[in-house]
């Protein structure tokens, strides 16, 4: 006999002998038990003698084909033992059965002889379950029942399905609920968890194996068709048969429920065998193996077909019992779900019995969770509560471990809609904390895995449960749990953006995202803290504070989600190779990646990669734009996903389309709000905006369909006497169908959508139209003679309702009075008495009222919260209100369970822009109020994180208003920009300063005008640091450091001295608090701002520099004395940014140069000296870079020196400017190009100075330039000569003037010696190459000499005149003819002084000296170059001589001599 048979023999023999030996068995009423045990033992001994005999039972054969023992035929003794109700006998029997099932000896797959429609295993489970008779069942028996059922359900050989499976789960469930033994309770709960895990895992595994088999079968079939062989027929047959083989054993064995070794050939092994190529030598062996496999496969397939034949009826025949005791019928595996739209009206079939098992268990647990709990049984230890909690826990476990089949199969999706969501609608308002907590956890799982399918249900949960609990006086515990759930939801970026996209941008749904943010903002500010709670006493301050912190945490999580969503378009100037940066205190999104995705199937395609860690990520991440909009692979994946999931939107989530929807929705809501105040204006507004048609039917349809409209205002509008309002009322009524309805029911339906107006004429018009419509749709009733009868009856019902249900009416109308009131209304006849009595009774029982909506129910609940009640009354009211809320939500959930809506999974970054625009105001209020009022470190950190994230979002999307609001707000909280605020500095303000500096460091590229606020804070921070070190106490207002009114210390009274001592103490305290601003971290952070300016982009650095200059001006103009902190930083950033490209640097210097112009002319010489010295250092560094020809960067850079020299009259500053320029010339002359122009301009200004040192240094430097660097100054030759001319004209220093004229003469020599330099210069100008020498070289020299002649005193102008004509005579042979014309125009200007007003003395001196000298020199030059000059200048020369004679400059004798000389030369 085999080892397995010996094991079985041992179990059976010991158990039977133990039962026989028990004293209870020997009692007379257990005769059948004794007989059965004896017979079984005899059979076992016979088996031992004869060997193992093969029977026709359902046990699987051992692979080695050795004899075995069938345990099924020994079941009767154990069944009788269990029926004995004796604990010892029951325990023994159950223990043996459990071991037989565990070791595979009890299979039970043969029909039960007593009930052929059932199997032996069904009888076994029934017997085991029957052993539990309630709470009085022995603890040992309970434990054995649990073990046996667990073994049966998880066994790899015992197949327990459908009704039997549910019975096993039910019994284990009841043991947990009913047992008083804690060990048994724990064991039962763990057993249930394991059972469910096995049930659903088998379903998932079976689906995977089936899919693999189908794929393999397809491959085999294609291989066979391509290469036919003698085995083609056999391989095809095997391929056709094997997919029908049940693989439950293998899949279940893989689940590891129990250890059971089975060496039989598995289906996969058989498939592999068939798939392998077979050689001709092994043909017979393979054929024989195939025949064996075929026989086995056919038998197993027949068994499966028998099982499947039972699965024919629809699941609508399944029982809808509310607990596991009402087991469903197991005859059907097809279930017709309500609202299922997979096929139009078709049934959805289960693909396998394992799937049906999972569905039945899931549905039963959902119905168990809906079992009501009586108010008297709300104790957590009561059976009702424990049952509900256990069912919810098991449901949560199923959802947490759900596989692909559960997540995607339409049957389970419909089950979730119709059962689980409805159950949650009841439990989601439960006053029992544990039930409510589990409901929230289940909802989170649904939101994470099924939100694509549950769009409408999610709206109901948020709008009617979550937000109501937050906004009303619910218990603090419930609020806290809701906040905990929201914190998880708000931590997932995909979920947050999806909520906005699918609800706030949907015209027919509520603004979930906006309402959620508003509710969290109110809670974070303590706006609901005064609400009286019904269920519990008001929150303690600690609880309230915790809720505020949690609410702020949720808001910050929302902001971080938006930052995470838009990180791919954010550019951090301080990182390279990454598009995202790190922000301290961010969410650890890596913990939430697996939580809440677009759907169970969309995670891989639409969700953020798990490698992304949000704002706290530390590794490079794939840009979101590639994952969303730009990647073709991503697009194809998205299309594949939408093909597999029809509920996903067929089009991409175009931001423009959703923005348009949101805008339209905002207009509608604005119109609805206006309608609530002025109905006509509201309708007109909507029509003007184009969202509501002009036709009365459009308005009527709008009244019918939009539940947000105020019903009171609808009644007022349709009751108006204006023709358009009447037309709307007619259309509104005609849209209702009262066919076949009772008159009162029709009236109820008519009045359900609006509230009757109070004016009688309006009611009259409404009732008249209603009566006409009712008679029109009920012509066949024949009850009313005309519409007049219906009209009068309707009016009388309105009056009856008011009379019976109004508290103001003391004497109620009786039935007889009502009948008498309606006499003769039916065309002078009476309506039937019983008909009127029925109407009276119905109205008395239920008044006519509007259809209840969640909004009105919420308002009623909120209103009742404000009334004062005792504690007992509050509890009763709280329970009643929660029950009403539950009923309302349940009705809404059942309604939406039949509706299908498209769900759009967000992918585009641009959605964040409208999201933030919709929520920034409440978020700003929340973080601002909390940061102002709190001192809690955690809350301060959260608020600052909120500021950082908000500013990041506003910056990235260019939302200027939002960015400015947040930055200005946070800058105020630093207390550095508030008057007298610096004296109230606290640790939270220090943290705020650090945060603002961090924002500037990471978001500097986007701050633009907000740099002003940041830099102003940094400026004041430096002042605070000075105060902390005691260096600038005078900046503390009101302290001893200030001398108000100029009163000296010696003039103070004794009282003032006493106050001064107290001020000293106060100042010491302030200095101590200010000392924290000098911490190393703060100093390093500030330095990082300026050091990091080199990484700002081209526009940002200009904004940064511009506002730094503004702050510097404010510092320098301070009434308490100028400060140069920002000026120093300007110098620093100039050094840092000088290596930028020329285009960027020129934009920067355009701002900095203007600032240095102002600062260099500051009234305070220390400031001006610092500015000039800084300019010198910067210029030296800038000139080191050199400059290419034809560029003008140096010219722009050095212009401030020229401006300061021109505007600042301080000798010290002017001398410093000259010295700085001289130093640049001596050290960087080789690199100076276009900068020579500025240098000569500075020296030109210095040349007219009266300070000898300034003039001397400037002239010496100029002389050095001409002597050593003349060739480099060609670009600025005109300015150079002009500078020398200015030196020559300074009458205070004649020696310098003479030397300057010498240098001008030297310049003429340079022009003559190197004319090619001037020809090459200025090629871009519109001047010929020949004329360039004249325009750029000769003309400036001669013109400036003429200026010297006209401006200087006699000795200097005489020297200038001599040099001028000397140059003309010496180098005139190289002059062109037209050059001479220009030159003589300049020469003739020498005589212009004689044309000035009469100044006899000067005129006489000028006439006798300069004019005579000039006249002779002119004649001399004219004579020398007569041939060249006479054709062009002869007439001009004669005219000039004639004028000179007239003026008396020349005597007649001189004139005659000149003419003789002139004509003589002409003759020659």
> Where in the sequence numbering do the catalytic residues fall?
759
Q: Judge contact between 1153 and 1104, C-beta under 8 A.
A: no
Alpha carbon distance 211, 217 (integer Å): 10
Q: Looking at the DSSP assignment, which residues form a beta bridge with residue 105?
A: none
Contacts of 125 (CB under 8 A, 6+ apart): 149, 152, 160, 164, 167, 168
> d(Cα 559, Cα 701) in Å, to the nearest integer?
39
Residue 1347 near residue 1400 (C-beta atoms within 8 A): no
How far is CA 391 from each of CA 323, 334, 449, 861, 1435, rounded to the nearest angstrom?
Answer: 10, 25, 20, 30, 124
Q: What's the per-residue H, E or C state across 193-236?
A: HHHHHHHHHHHHHHHHHHHHHHHHHHHHHHHHHHCCCCCHHHHH
User: What are the residues whose beta carbons fall under 8 Å from the beta carbon of 187, sequence distance 6 or more?
Assistant: 143, 146
Contacts (Cβ under 8 Å, ≥6 apart) of 1108? 1011, 1015, 1126, 1129, 1130, 1133
C-alpha distances in angstroms, 978 versus 991, 1016, 1042? 17, 11, 19
Q: Distance (Å, rounded) from C-alpha 693 to C-alpha 451?
A: 34
What does the DSSP assignment read for 482-534?
HHHHHHHHTT-HHHHHHHIIIIIT-TTS--HHHHHHHHHHHHHTTTTTTPPPS
Q: How far apart are CA 104 and CA 10, in angstroms?
A: 14
In angstroms, how far is CA 1458 from the centroid of its own chain? 97
CA distance 515 to 903: 20
Strand partners, 1069: none
Residue 119 gets which letter from DSSP? Answer: B
| Gap between the Cα atoms of 1210 and 97, Å rounded | 114
* SS3 state at 1271: helix
Using alpha carbons only, give the angle 1410, 1413, 1416 rounded to the nearest 5 degrees. 145
Say how far apart CA 938 and CA 933 lie, in whole Å: 13
- DSSP code at position 262: -
The CA radius of gyration of the chain, in Å to the nearest whole number, is 51
CA 918 to CA 521: how far, in whole Å? 13
For residue 602, report the phi and psi dihedrals to the nearest 5 degrees: -100, 0
Q: Which of 1212, 1242, 1018, 1022 is nearest to 1108 (CA)?
A: 1018
Q: How far is CA 1243 from CA 534, 760, 1162, 1257, 1285, in A?
A: 89, 99, 21, 9, 11
Is 348 strand, coil or helix?
strand
Query: CA of 420: how far to CAs of 265, 449, 453, in Å?
Result: 42, 14, 13
Q: Are 898 and 339 in contact (CB under 8 A)?
A: yes
Closest CA to 1090 of 1079, 1098, 1101: 1101
Q: 1232 near 1273, Cβ under 8 Å? A: no
């Amino acid at each position: 006999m085999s080892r397995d048979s010996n094991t079985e023999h041992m179990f059976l023999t010991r158990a039977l002998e133990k039962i026989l030996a028990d004293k209870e068995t020997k009692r007379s009423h257990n005769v059948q038990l004794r007989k059965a045990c004896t017979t079984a033992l005899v059979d076992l001994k016979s088996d031992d003698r004869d060997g193992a005999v093969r029977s026709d039972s359902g046990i699987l054969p051992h692979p080695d084909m050795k004899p075995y023992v069938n345990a099924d035929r020994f079941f009767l003794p154990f069944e009788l033992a269990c029926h004995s109700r004796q604990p010892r006998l029951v325990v023994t029997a159950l223990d043996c059965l459990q071991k037989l099932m565990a070791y595979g000896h009890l299979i039970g797959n043969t029909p039960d002889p007593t009930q052929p429609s059932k199997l032996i295993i069904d009888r076994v489970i029934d017997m085991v379950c029957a052993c539990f008779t309630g709470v009085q069942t022995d603890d040992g028996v309970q434990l054995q029942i649990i073990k046996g059922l667990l073994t049966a359900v998880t066994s790899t050989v015992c197949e327990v399905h459908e009704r039997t499976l549910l019975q096993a789960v039910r019994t284990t469930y009841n043991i947990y609920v009913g047992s008083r033994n804690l060990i048994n309770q724990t064991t039962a709960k763990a057993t249930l968890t394991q059972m469910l895990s096995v049930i659903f895992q088998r379903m998932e595994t079976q689906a995977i194996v089936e899919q693999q088999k189908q794929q393999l079968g397809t491959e085999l079939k294609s291989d066979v068709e391509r290469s036919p062989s003698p085995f083609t027929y056999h391989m095809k047959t095997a391929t056709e048969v094997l997919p029908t083989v049940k693989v439950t054993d293998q899949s279940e064995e893989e689940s590891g429920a129990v250890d059971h070794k089975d060496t039989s050939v598995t289906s996969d092994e058989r498939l592999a065998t068939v798939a392998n190529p077979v050689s001709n030598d092994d043909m017979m062996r393979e054929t024989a193996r195939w025949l064996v496999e075929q026989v086995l496969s056919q038998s197993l397939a027949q068994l499966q077909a028998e099982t499947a034949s039972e699965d024919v009826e629809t699941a609508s025949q399944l029982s809808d019992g509310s607990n596991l005791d009402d087991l469903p019928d197991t005859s059907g595996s097809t279930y017709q779900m309500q609202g299922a739209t997979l096929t139009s009206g078709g049934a959805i079939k289960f693909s396998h019995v394992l799937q049906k098992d999972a569905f039945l268990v899931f549905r039963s647990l959902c119905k168990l969770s809906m079992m009501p709990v009586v108010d008297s049984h709300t104790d957590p230890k009561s059976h009702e509560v424990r049952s509900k909690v256990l069912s919810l826990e098991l449901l949560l476990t199923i959802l947490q471990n759900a596989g692909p089949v559960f997540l995607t199969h339409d049957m389970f999706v419909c089950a979730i809609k119709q059962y689980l969501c409805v159950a949650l609608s009841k439990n989601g308002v439960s006053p029992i904390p544990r039930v409510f907590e589990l409901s929230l956890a289940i909802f989170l799982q649904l939101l994470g895995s099924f939100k694509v399918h549950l769009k409408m249900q999610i709206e109901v949960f948020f709008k009617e449960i979550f937000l109501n609990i937050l906004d009303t006086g619910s218990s603090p515990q419930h609020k806290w749990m809701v906040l905990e759930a929201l914190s998880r939801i708000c931590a997932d970026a995909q979920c947050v953006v999806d909520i906005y996209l699918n609800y706030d941008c949907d015209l027919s749904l509520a603004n979930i995202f906006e309402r959620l943010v508003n509710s969290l903002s109110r809670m974070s500010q303590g706006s609901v803290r005064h609400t009286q709670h019904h269920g519990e006493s008001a929150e303690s301050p600690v609880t309230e504070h915790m809720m505020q912190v949690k609410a702020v945490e949720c808001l910050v999580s929302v902001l971080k989600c938006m930052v995470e969503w838009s990180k791919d378009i954010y550019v951090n100037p301080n990182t390279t190779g990454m598009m995202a940066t790190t922000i301290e205190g961010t969410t650890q999104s890596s913990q939430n990646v697996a939580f809440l995705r677009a759907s169970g199937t969309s995670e891989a395609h639409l969700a953020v990669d798990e490698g992304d860690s949000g704002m706290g990520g530390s590794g490079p991440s794939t840009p979101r734009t590639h994952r969303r909009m730009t990647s073709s692979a991503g697009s194809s994946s998205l299309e594949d996903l939408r093909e597999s999931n029809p509920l996903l939107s067929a089009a991409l989530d175009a931001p423009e389309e959703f923005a348009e929807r949101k805008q339209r929705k905002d207009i509608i809501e604005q119109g609805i709000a206006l309608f609530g105040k002025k109905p006509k204006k509201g309708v007109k507004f909507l029509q003007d905006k184009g969202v509501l048609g002009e036709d009365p039917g459009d308005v009527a349809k709008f009244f019918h369909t939009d539940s947000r409209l105020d019903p009171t205002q609808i009644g007022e509008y349709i009751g108006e006497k204006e023709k358009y309002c009447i037309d709307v009322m007619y259309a509104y009524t005609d849209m209702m169908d009262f066919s076949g309805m009772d008159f009162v029911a029709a009236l109820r339906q008519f009045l359900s959508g609006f509230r009757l107006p109070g004016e009688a004429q309006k009611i009259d018009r409404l009732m008249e139209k209603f009566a006409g419509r009712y008679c029109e749709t009920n012509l066949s009733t024949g009850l009313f003679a005309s519409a007049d009868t219906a009209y009068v009856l309707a009016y009388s019902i309105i009056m009856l309702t008011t009379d019976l249900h109004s508290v103001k009416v003391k004497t109620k109308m009786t039935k007889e009075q009502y009948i008498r009131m309606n006499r003769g209304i039916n065309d002078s006849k009476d309506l039937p008495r019983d008909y009127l009595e029925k109407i009276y009774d119905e109205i008395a029982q239920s008044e006519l009222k509007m259809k209840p909506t969640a909004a009105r129910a919420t308002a009623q609940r909120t209103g009742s919260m404000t009334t004062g009640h005792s504690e007992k009354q509050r509890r009763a009211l709280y329970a009643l209100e929660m029950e009403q809320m539950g009923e309302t939500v349940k009705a809404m959930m059942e309604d939406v369970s039949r509706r299908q809506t498209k769900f759009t999974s967000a992918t585009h970054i641009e959605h964040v822009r409208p999201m933030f625009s919709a929520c920034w105001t409440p978020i700003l209020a929340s973080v601002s109020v909390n940061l102002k009022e709190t001192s809690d470190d955690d809350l301060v950190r959260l608020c600052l994180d909120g500021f950082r994230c908000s500013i990041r979002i506003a910056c990235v999307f260019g939302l200027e208003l939002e960015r400015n609001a947040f930055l200005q707000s946070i800058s105020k909280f630093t207390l550095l920009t508030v008057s007298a605020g610096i004296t109230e500095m606290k640790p939270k303000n220090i943290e705020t300063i650090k945060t603002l500096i961090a924002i500037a460091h990471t978001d500097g590229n986007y701050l633009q005008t907000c740099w002003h606020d940041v830099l102003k804070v940094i400026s004041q921070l430096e002042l605070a640091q000075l105060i902390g070190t005691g260096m600038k106490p005078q900046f503390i207002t009101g302290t001893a450091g200030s001398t108000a009114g100029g009163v000296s210390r010696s003039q103070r009274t004794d009282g003032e001295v006493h106050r001064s001592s107290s001020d000293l103490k106060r100042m010491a305290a302030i200095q101590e608090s200010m000392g924290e601003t000098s911490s190393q971290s703060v100093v390093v952070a500030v330095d990082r701002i300026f050091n990091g300016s080199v990484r700002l982009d081209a526009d940002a650095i200009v904004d940064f520099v511009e506002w730094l200059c503004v702050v510097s001006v404010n510092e320098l103009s301070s009434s308490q004395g100028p400060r140069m902190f920002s000026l120093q930083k300007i110098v620093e950033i100039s050094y840092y940014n000088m290596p930028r490209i020329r285009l960027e640097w020129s934009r920067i210097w355009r701002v900095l140069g203007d600032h240095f112009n102002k600062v260099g002319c500051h009234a305070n010489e220390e400031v001006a000296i610092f500015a000039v010295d800084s300019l010198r250092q910067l210029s030296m560094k800038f000139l080191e870079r050199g400059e290419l020809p034809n560029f003008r960067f140096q010219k722009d850079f050095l212009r401030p020196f020229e401006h300061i020299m021109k505007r600042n009259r301080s000798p010290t500053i002017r001398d410093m400017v000259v010295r700085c320029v001289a130093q640049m010339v001596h050290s960087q002359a080789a690199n100076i190009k276009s900068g020579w122009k500025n240098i000569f301009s500075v020296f030109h200004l210095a040349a007219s100075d009266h300070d000898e040192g300034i003039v001397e240094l400037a002239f010496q430097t100029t002389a050095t330039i001409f002597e050593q660097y003349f060739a480099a100054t060609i670009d600025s030759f005109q300015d150079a000569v002009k500078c020398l001319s200015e030196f020559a004209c300074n009458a205070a220093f004649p020696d310098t003037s003479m030397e300057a004229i010498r240098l001008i003469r030297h310049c003429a020599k340079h022009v003559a010696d190197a004319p090619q330099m001037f020809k090459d210069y200025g090629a871009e100008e519109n001047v010929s190459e020949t004329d360039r020498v004249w325009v750029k070289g000769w003309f400036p020299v001669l013109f400036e000499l003429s200026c010297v002649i006209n401006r200087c005193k006699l000795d200097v102008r005489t020297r200038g005149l001599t040099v001028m004509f000397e140059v003309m005579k010496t180098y005139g042979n190289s002059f062109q003819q037209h050059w001479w014309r220009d030159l003589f125009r300049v020469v003739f200007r020498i005589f212009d002084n004689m044309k000035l007003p009469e100044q006899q003395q000067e005129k006489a001196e000028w006439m006798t000296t300069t004019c005579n000298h000039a006249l002779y020199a002119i004649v001399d030059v004219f004579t020398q170059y007569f041939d060249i000059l006479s054709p062009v200048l002869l007439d001009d020369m004669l005219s000039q001589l004639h004028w000179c004679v007239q003026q008396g400059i020349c005597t007649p004798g001189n004139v005659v001599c000149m003419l003789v000389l002139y004509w003589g030369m002409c003759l020659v």
